[in-house]
Amino acid sequence: MIAGGVAAGMSAASRALRQNPEADVVVFERGEYISYGACGLPYVLGGDVDSFGDLIARTPAQMRARGIGVRLRHEVTGVDARARTITVVDHHSGRSTHEPYDKLLIATGVSAIRPDWAKTDLGGVHVLRDIPDGQAIEATISGGAKRAVIVGGGYIGLELAETLHCRGLSVVVVEKGPEVAGRMLDGEYQVRVRAELESNGVEIRCGTTVEGLTGKGDCVTGVQTDHGLIRADMVIVAVGVRPNVELARAAGARIGKTGAVAVNTRQETGVDGVYSAGDNTESTHRVTRRKVHIPLGLTANRMGRVAGVNMAGGDATFPGVVGSSIFKTFALGAARTGLTQTEADALGLNAASVDVSSTDHAGYYSTAKPIYVRLTAERGTGRLLGAQLVCQNHESVKRVDVVAALLHGRGKVQDLFETDLSYAPPFSGVWDVLLVAADRLS
Give the footprint of ligand FAD on this chain (CB under 6 A).
3-9, 28-31, 38-39, 41-42, 75-76, 107-110, 128-129, 156, 244, 247, 278-279, 295-298, 300
Taking alpha carbons only, the member of 237, 297, 302 closest to residue 263 is 302
Q: Give the residue with the Cβ less far from ligand FAD, 156 or 403.
A: 156
On whether the CB atoms of residues 363 and 375 are closer than 8 A, the answer is no
Q: Give the residue with the Cβ less far from ligand FAD, 184 or 356.
A: 184
Amino acid at 243: P
Q: Give the residue with the Cβ less far from ligand FAD, 4 or 222.
A: 4
Q: Give the residue with the Cβ less far from ligand FAD, 109 or 182.
A: 109
On whether the CB atoms of residues 400 and 373 are closer than 8 A, the answer is no
CB of 58 to ligand FAD, least distance (A): 14
Secondary structure of 7-65 as H, E, C letters: HHHHHHHHHHHHHCCCCCEEEEECCCCCCECHHHHHHHHHCCCCCHHHHECCCHHHHHH
CB of 299 to ligand FAD, least distance (A): 7
Residues 6+ apart with CB under 8 A from 69: 24, 25, 26, 27
Distance CA 174, CA 171 (A): 10
CB of 134 to ligand FAD, least distance (A): 8
Distance CA 291, CA 271 (A): 19
On whether the CB atoms of residues 41 and 133 are closer than 8 A, the answer is yes
CB of 441 to ligand FAD, least distance (A): 28
Q: Give the residue with the Cβ less far from ligand FAD, 246 or 415.
A: 246
Distance CA 361, CA 61 (A): 46
Q: Give the residue with the Cβ less far from ligand FAD, 109 or 411.
A: 109
On whether the CB atoms of residues 338 and 385 are closer than 8 A, the answer is yes
Q: Provide the annotated active-site residues.
A: 39
CB of 38 to ligand FAD, least distance (A): 4
CB of 7 to ligand FAD, least distance (A): 3
CB of 156 to ligand FAD, least distance (A): 5
Alpha carbons within 13 angstroms on the beta-carbon side of residue 175 total 23
Write phi, then psi, for 25 (nearest 5 degrees). -105, 125
On whether the CB atoms of residues 17 and 314 are closer than 8 A, the answer is no
Q: Give the residue with the Cβ less far from ligand FAD, 87 or 342.
A: 87
CB of 110 to ligand FAD, least distance (A): 6
Positive or negative torsion for Cα 396, 357, 181, 346: positive
Q: Give the residue with the Cβ less far from ligand FAD, 108 or 140.
A: 108
